[in-house]
Amino acid sequence: MTPQVRLAKVRGLRGARKYGVAAASLRELLRKGAKLLQLPARGCRACLYEDATEVTESYFRHMPDNTDLVLLAPGETWQGYVSDVSHFLNAFYKRKDDIVEAAQKLLSDKQAPMTQKLLLDLIHNLSENIVAEDREEDEKWFDGIEPRFRNKSSYMRYGCESRIRSYMKEVSSYISAVHPTAQAIYKSISDLMLDKLRSVKYNGCYFDRREEAAARICTSEGWFSCQGPFDMDACLCKHSINPYSNRESRILFSTWNLDHVIEKKRTVIPTLAEAVHKRDGREVNWEYFYQLLFTVDNLKFVHIACHKKTNHNLGCDKTKIYRKRKRTCKVLK
């Protein structure tokens, strides 16, 4: 039985030009493709353009016509179409200064609003200076920021600390709503929380890209990804931002929120106050409330569009409100 001839579109790793190749076997395809692309005759292999799956002889026999293939010489790798995107971006950013200059010239002419928006976004994205850390390296980023902040990470850390401090103030100020007989205990718990926050520097590490990966909620480059609304596992819109990149992104970053999954005002603080009032000799598990109020155990970092202001309708875990009492065993004589 004569093998069926298959038609494929082949290209190399370096160029975008495609060649049509007709072959009755994978071996024939590789031989013809290598000749067209001027690759070594031996050691070549073919991968699917889309997902980098390596083509075998058995796969070739059932391969649809006009399948896009990438022929690789020995030592070359392909990761699917993502590789193309990577090559494009590398080439794009090597000439970003020229592109920004050309875009600015276009903006000097009268343009339609949509064109202006596209050009401004392009200039904005290409004007990023993500790698720079110190004030001297990126003075524009520090415009409007007090001189005491000498690098980006220290300012970002301060911003996170300020948010956590504001939560602590809400806890402390709620004492007026606590039953008079429980206010002293509530105050002592509030003081314990404050001491712990001071010891961890108000969890400012969350926004500091210099911290260890386990301590921060951004990448080492400073990219933050939206974690999605409180009632979803992820952000469907894939929102992301890098406040370290330029001044505008730093300002926009302030609109992102640390959202309490179990709500701070509606649930956590009132439940803490009630627990103190109704403790009846039991010890309030203040560390559980600390986790809910000030840590990523109950905080999601979200884009403003993913910050739902509706009632979350989630309560505290009743089994964790009080510490478990230690059982004492009687010694039998």
DSSP class of residue 191? Answer: H
CA 187 – CA 194 distance, rounded (Å): 10
Q: Are 305 and 239 in contact (CB under 8 A)?
A: yes
CA 210 – CA 204 distance, rounded (Å): 11
Instruction: Provide the β-strand partners of residue 68.
Output: 9
CA 45 – CA 302 distance, rounded (Å): 45
pLDDT of res. 104: 64
Q: Are 46 and 66 in contact (CB under 8 A)?
A: no
pLDDT of res. 1: 61
According to the per-residue pLDDT averaged within each range, which of 56-60, 97-101, 109-113, 281-285 is highest? 281-285
Domain 6-78 in this protein, CATH class = alpha beta
Q: Where are the domains of the chain?
A: 6-78, 82-127, 152-306
Q: What is the mean pLDDT of the chain?
A: 88
pLDDT tens digit sequence for 296-307: 999 999 999 999
pLDDT tens digit sequence for 140-180: 999 999 999 999 999 999 999 999 999 999 999 999 999 99
pLDDT of 116 over the 80 cut:
no
Q: Are strands 240-241 and 224-225 parallel, antiparallel or unpaired?
A: antiparallel
